[in-house]
Amino acid sequence: MKEQKYMFKVAMVGDSGVGKRTLAKLATINVLDDNVLNDYGVVFTYYYVHASGETDVISAHFSIWDITGLLDVGSLRNRYERGASGLIAVADASRRSTVENIDSWISHVKDNPDDVDIVLVLNKIDLVAKDELDTIESVMKGYADKYDAELFQTSCVDKINVREPFLGISKKLCSKVIGEIGTITTIKPKVGAKKS
C-alpha cells in the first residue's frame, strides 16, 4: 500500500454560543471547558487521522478554523474561510434562530457548491425535549438534503457523538483522495490549540 500525506483546512461555523469551540476541544483533546468565552477571531484546533482504502493509505492533517460566531465581523470571516476544503456548520438545538441561520453560514463559505464538503451538527441536544428535538431535527435534515451533508446530533455535556462530525468530514475529504474508505483511525490531536 502506498501512503499519501495531505493537509485539509476545515472551517467550523455557526452562531455565537452554539458550542463550536467546546465541541472541537472535547473531540480532539477530550477536555470539556465550562469557561469558554465568546470572542472575536479564530481558534485553531488540529488533529490527524489515518485512513485506508483498497490500495492506498492516507495520513491526513486537519486544521479546524473555529470562526467567531459574531455576525458583524464578515470581512474577517471571509479571510479565514477562504480555501476551506470542508465545513462543519453547528447549530444549538435549544435556540431555533441558530438553526435558521445555518443556511447563511454555509453560503458565506461556499464559493462553489462542489468545492466544499459539509457536515451539519445539531449540538446541545441534552437541553431540549424529544418532541422539540424532532421538530428542530427535521429543519436540519432539510439543510442536510440541500447540501448533501451528513447530520450529527451532539451533546458536549453528555459526551454524545462529539467525535463523529470530525470523523465524518475526515472520511469525506480523505475519500476524495483515495476512494472508498475501508478504515479510519480515531482522532489523534496535535498538542494545543492556537488563537488568532
Quickly state the pLDDT bin for 136 (edges 50, 70, 90).
very high
Residue 109 has pLDDT above 80, yes or no: no
- Cα 93 from Cα 129, distance rounded (Å): 10
Quickly state the pLDDT bin for 192 (edges 50, 70, 90).
very low
Q: What is the CATH number of the domain that holds 127?
A: 3.40.50.300
- Cα 108 from Cα 66, distance rounded (Å): 14
Residue 191 has pLDDT above 50, yes or no: no
- CA–centroid distance for 159 within its chain: 16
Q: What is the mean pLDDT of residues 55-73?
A: 77
pLDDT value for 113: 46
SS3 category, 116: coil
Query: Averaging pLDDT over each range in 52-56, 71-75, 98-102, 112-116, which range is the top one?
Result: 98-102
pLDDT value for 66: 83
In the chain, how many domains are there?
1
pLDDT value for 38: 54
* 173's grid cell: 475529504
Quickly state the pLDDT bin for 46 (edges 50, 70, 90).
confident
- Cα 59 from Cα 4, distance rounded (Å): 6
Distances (CA, A) of 135 to 6, 93, 112, 122, 131: 39, 10, 30, 12, 7
- Cα 64 from Cα 88, distance rounded (Å): 9
- CA–centroid distance for 19 within its chain: 11
Q: How confident is the prediction for the chain on average, in pLDDT?
A: 83
Domain of residue 191 covers 2-195
Task: Express each pLDDT in 15-45 by its tens digit.
Answer: 988 999 889 888 887 776 655 555 556 778 8
Quickly state the pLDDT bin for 168 (edges 50, 70, 90).
very high
Residue 43: its H or E element: strand 42-52
Q: What is the mean pLDDT of residues 90-111?
A: 88
Instruction: Please state the length of the chain.
Output: 196
